[in-house]
Amino acid sequence: MNNRPALLLSVLLALPLLLGSCTKKLLPTATSPSATNPVPEAVKATNLDFQFMTAKGKAQFGDQSANVNLRMRKDSVIWLSASLLGIEGGRLYITRDSVQVLDKLHREYYAGDFAYLSKRLNVPVTFDMLQALLLGNYLAPLSPATQPAVTTEGTVQRVRYAQAGLLIMQLVDLAQGRPRQLLVQDSVRAHQLTVDYADFRQLESNPQPFAFETQVQVQQPDQQAPTVITLTYRAVDLDKGRLQFPFSVPKGYARKK
C-alpha cells in the first residue's frame, strides 16, 4: 500500500518539530510565555497586524499534497487542520504554553508543553517563532539587548545576528517591507533552516503584503537532501469575525509518550 499520503500528513503535523530541529541552541530549554520583541528601528520590516486570521491552501511534500486550513488568534492560538481527498488526517492546536497534535491516521494524540518537547526531543521551539514563520514576519532576537547588523544591498536589506552560537539572517524586501528569506545556520552541527517567501499580495483592508507561498527547507547532517515543504495559500482573511479553534480527542486514541 502506498503510504505517501500518510507520510505527508505526518510531516506536516510535525512541522513545528522540523522547524525546531535546526535551532537547538537558538532557544532556551525552558520556554515560557512572553511578548514578541518589537522590530528594531533600523530594520525596515513591518509585521502583519491582526486579531484573527484564517487561511486555506495546500502543503506540498515531494509529489504529494494535502489541503490545509490554518487559523490564528494573534499571540495566542495557532490551529491547523490537514486533509487528503476531503478526509481530515490530523489537527494541531498550539497556545503560548501548550502543544496538542491529533493524528487521525494512526489514532494517536500528543499533549504537552514546549518545555516537555524540548526535554524529550531536544528540539526547542517557541510560540513566537512558529507564528513569525507562518506569517512571514520578522523574527526578532530573544533578547532586546541583541543588536542585529543591518546592511542594504540594492532593494534588499540584510539583517544578521548571532545567538547562542547560531547565525540568523533575514532578507527584507525594502519595497514591500516584508522578509523575503530567513536563514538559520549551525555550522558546528551542520544544521540549516531556510524559509523562502514568495507571491506577495496585498490583503483586503490591510496595506501589508502577505506571502501566499512559503517554502521550508530543513537540512540535517544525517540527510543527503533537505526536507522540503511548500505551503501555498489560495485564500487569506484577516479579522472577518471571531474564530473557533475546535480540538478534542476521540475515545480509543493512544497518547504518544
Q: How far apart are CA 210 and CA 213, in angstroms?
A: 9
Q: Is the pLDDT of residue 18 over 70?
A: no
Q: For the ranges 110-119, 136-145, 232-241, which has the lowest average pLDDT? A: 110-119
Q: Tell me, what's the pLDDT at 116? A: 59
Return the C-alpha cell found at 84. 487528503
Q: How many other C-beta atoms are found inside a 10 Å radius of the C-beta of residue 16?
A: 23
Q: Does residue 199 register a pLDDT over 90? A: yes
What average pLDDT does this structure show over 47-63?
Answer: 90
Average pLDDT over residues 99-114: 85
Fold type of domain 4-30+40-255: outer membrane lipoprotein receptor (LolB), chain A (2.50.20)
User: What's at 74, amino acid-wise?
Assistant: K
pTM: 0.83
pLDDT-based confidence at residue 252 (cuts at 50, 70, 90): very high
Q: At 229, give phi and psi (nearest 5°).
A: -125, 130
Nearest to residue 84, comparing CAs of 192, 2, 188, 179?
2
Q: What local confidence, expressed as pLDDT, does residue 222 receive?
A: 75
